[in-house]
Amino acid sequence: MEQRVKGCSALRGEVTPPGDKSISHRAVILNSVAQGRAKVGNFSPGEDCLATVTCLRELGVEITEESRGMLIISGVGEKGFREPKDVLNAGNSGTTMRLLAGLLASQSFLSIITGDESLRSRPMARVIHPLRLMGAQIWGRGGDSLAPLAIKGSRLQGIEYRLPVASAQLKSAILIAALFAQGDTTVEEPAPSRDHTERMLRAMGAELQSDGSKVTLAPKSTPPSPLDLDIPGDISSAAFWLIAGAIHPNAKIRITNAGVNPTRTGIIEVLLEMGAKLGIENERIVGGEPVADITVESSHLVGKQIEGSIIPKLIDEIPLIAVAGCVARGTTIIRDAAELRVKETDRIAATVMELSKLGADIEELPDGVVIHGGKALQGGECFSHHDHRLAMTLGVAALIARGETVIHDAEVVAVSYPAFWQDLERLTSQ
Ligand code: S3P
């Protein structure tokens, strides 16, 4: 599908982002591991989370949709999973593959998990290695570096492990495996990544200690307790409207029910430092996670250097921050973000290629980008690179470009935010 977006005269209204993708994956996986029934509301409507649900059903978990976005999960505990009859398919979702690898590592049966072309090119040695150290038998294509993965789990032992990169997917895979291991497991990261797994496990009664970049889990003889929860809106989806509102000259947007977990709000910190007019209201705790409503209006942004330990807190928002950099006064430099090269696509190369087509003055670094701001964008013909976040980033850039932008393969937004183009249409026509 191709999506056409015209530069718009005003951006106004209220928008509620879809349920958080990271929390949705964890809610359905951890409640499957729990023993008993849980009710999870505002589950992400994106294809990634649906892939996780489908895989868990194939592993013998009963998951029903009571009403739109409301799932009932009948958790089976450690011993209730069954060998899947076919290859599991994680689609485009790295979180599905890596977190389920952690779960399957403790199951005595054989499973094979694959994904789409993008996922089959993403690094898996990083998850194979620690799970093997724990005692799992796990293999991958390409000398144990790529999916499909074949996993024959066994009785695991706890480990002390330092992650080579800050990654919540790896940390979570190891913690899920550690639930049924013998002895404690400690995971240390170079910088703190999102902590949804830790929060949810704690709420389910797991014994877990953490101090930001180090977490220790002590396994228990009983499985975690089921947890009913309402999933907050995804800050990574809200981010499209935060940036759109800040860079558009005639904008006022209110975003309701956005998750504001401090391990995810790097985008808010950076926007405030760039001079954005943001308001954070109605701060509350929902399902153990902080949530708020956020208002944003047209702002005069200034360029900024973004690097170091804030990067994991805004890793998915970097292509969007590059769009803000195009409009900001001065130069914006993003570094220490080499991980972007192994996301759904090489997001450094793809962002530079596509924003350049719209007239951005942007250069590629090995681990980031440099953007010289203050240059007006013009409409053009762009390609999503089959990456949901890149498609939406280009949609936001198109709102401030002169003329019309055509985005090819724009249907890929369904991976995390199926209603994105409808929400964009609504905000531009009020
Ligand atoms: C995620 C972690 C991040 C992020 C991804 C979701 C998660 O990936 O980019 O969109 O839910 O744990 P990494 O763990 O690979 O950094």
Per-residue confidence in pLDDT tens, the chain, 430 aa: 999 999 999 999 999 999 999 999 999 999 999 999 999 999 999 999 999 999 999 999 999 999 999 999 999 999 999 999 999 999 999 999 999 999 999 999 999 999 999 999 999 999 999 999 999 999 999 999 999 999 998 899 999 999 999 999 999 999 999 999 999 999 999 999 999 999 999 999 999 999 889 999 999 888 899 999 999 999 999 999 999 999 999 999 999 999 999 999 999 999 999 999 999 999 999 888 999 999 999 999 999 999 999 999 999 999 999 999 999 999 999 999 999 999 999 999 999 999 999 999 999 999 999 999 998 999 999 999 999 999 999 999 999 999 999 999 999 999 999 999 999 999 999 7
159-189 residues labelled b (16+ CB within 10 A) or e (exposed): bebebeebbbbbbbbbbbbbbbbeeebbbeb
**How many other β-carbons are positioned within 10 Å of the β-carbon of residue 395?**
23
**Hey, which of 28, 49, 95 would you mutate to test ligand 1's pocket, going by the most ligand atoms within 8 Å of its Cβ?**
95
- CA-proximal residue: ligand 1, atom 16 (nearest): 167
**Hey, which of 24, 26, 167 would you mutate to test ligand 1's pocket, going by the most ligand atoms within 8 Å of its Cβ?**
167
- Ligand 1 pocket, 168 CB below 6 A? yes
- Ligand 1 pocket, 96 CB below 6 A? no
- Atom number in ligand 1 closest to CA 316: 9
- Residue 286's pLDDT is 87
The predicted model scores a pTM of: 0.98
Cα gap 182→283, rounded to integer Å: 40
Convert 336-389 into a string of H (helix), E (strand) and C (coil). CCHHHHHCCCCHHHHHHHHHHHCCCEEEEECCEEEEECCCCCECCEEECCCCHH
- Ligand 1 pocket, 23 CB below 6 A? no
- CA-proximal residue: ligand 1, atom 10 (nearest): 316
- Taking the centre of ligand 1 as the mean of its atom positions, its distance from the CA of residue 139, in whole angstroms, is 22
Phi, psi torsion values for 17, nearest 5 degrees = -70, 155
**Hey, which of 24, 169, 199 would you mutate to test ligand 1's pocket, going by the most ligand atoms within 8 Å of its Cβ?**
169
- Taking the centre of ligand 1 as the mean of its atom positions, its distance from the CA of residue 169, in whole angstroms, is 5
Cα gap 93→52, rounded to integer Å: 8
- Ligand 1 pocket, 216 CB below 6 A? no
Strand residues in 211-273 grouped as ranges (E): 214-218, 229-230, 251-259
List 361's β-bridge partners, or say none. 372
Roughly how many angstroms between the first and final C-alpha of the chain, as a whole number? 25
Where does residue 205 fall: left (phi above 0), alpha (psi -120 to 50 degrees), or beta otherwise? left
Phi, psi torsion values for 20, nearest 5 degrees = -60, 130
Maximum distance among all Cα pairs of the chain, rounded to whole angstroms: 62
Contact 71/98 with Cβ under 8 angstroms? no
Token digits for 20? Answer: 């958080």
